[in-house]
Structure 1
Amino acid sequence: MPSVKQFQVTFDCAQPERVATFWCAVLGYDLTPSDDPDTWSACVDPSGVGPRLFFQRVPEDRVVKNRVHLDVRVGTGLVGEERLAALEAECARLLPLGAVRVQLLPADEENESCIAMQDIEGNEFCLD
């Protein structure tokens, strides 16, 4: 069985170019030129390491919680107050871009702290 070498993450959304621009700013990705930015848009990791993100316009609104979400890994290897400071700094950077802070999920016996967020169309993601 062949192994998968690449994948893309696809977002259903109302305004593809707007959402793609948001995620480019979050991740440091580059916006891919689209022949129809009202219908689709995409962004790519300039290093070629991360997955391509694809944004497609759909007519229906989002009505339920995401079954899949992105974890934006800003606190990798950090613990305690140092981790919280990194998460809070990234949260502060993303709020002016239109992100919404949902809640801090504090560390417990199994997991380090993370911050639940939403993008500009309400898609959930975590600062981890």
Structure 2
Amino acid sequence: MTSIKQFQVTFDCAEPERLARFWCEVLGYVVPPPPEGFATWDDFDRSLPPERQGSSFFCVDPSGVGPRLYFQRVPEDKVVKNRVHLCVRVGTGLVGEERLAALEAECARLVPLGAVRVRLLRADGVNESCLVMQDIEGNEFCLD
């Protein structure tokens, strides 16, 4: 059996570059350099057929550890709850009030970027507290 070494997470969305840049801010990811022969991603985008312009964008973990995030434009709006979501691990190893403070601090950083706070799920004896959020296109994610 082959072991998978790398994977990417793909987001269906309305505005690929805008959403990619939001997630760059959330995760500390970066937009890689444009393909060889292009000074900017805009130059590359203009080289595509009109129907493909602005249709996708991606960002990467500068350390090379995390998965590539790929954003592709789709015609339909998001209608229901995500079946898969990202958990942004800001409270790892923290418990109680210290964990809540870390979650709230990260929430306060992300809301001005366009994120929306949905609800706090308090520790229940099995799971630690986490904050359910939405990105700028309504995709759910957790501050965990």
Structure 2 residue matching 1:30: 3-state secondary structure? coil
Q: 1:18 maps to which residue? A: 18
- Gaps in structure 2 of 5+ consecutive residues: 35-40, 46-52
Post-superposition shift, 1:109?
1.4
Post-superposition shift, 1:100?
0.2
Q: Distance in 1 between matches of 2:67 and 2:137?
A: 20
Poorly superposed stretches of 4+, deviation over 6 Å: none
Q: Distance in 2 between matches of 1:38 and 1:80?
A: 44
Post-superposition shift, 1:31?
1.4
Could you say which structure has the higher strand fraction? 1
Indicate which of 36, 50, 58 corresponds to 2:74. Answer: 58
AA paired with 1:91?
C
Deviations 1:19-53 (A, max 9, x none): 00000000000013443361100000000000000
Indicate which of 70, 83, 89 corresponds to 1:67. Answer: 83
Structure 1 residue matching 2:62: 3-state secondary structure? coil
Indicate which of 117, 121, 127 corresponds to 1:105. Answer: 121
Count of residue pairs brought into register by the alignment = 128
Q: Distance in 2 between matches of 1:27 and 1:48?
A: 13
Percent identical residues: 79
Q: 1:39 maps to which residue? A: 55
Q: 2:48 maps to which residue? A: none
Structure 2 residue matching 1:96: 3-state secondary structure? helix
TM-score (normalised: structure 2):
0.87
Post-superposition shift, 1:5?
0.3
Q: Distance in 2 between matches of 1:97 and 1:55?
A: 18
Q: 1:78 maps to which residue? A: 94
RMSD: 1.0
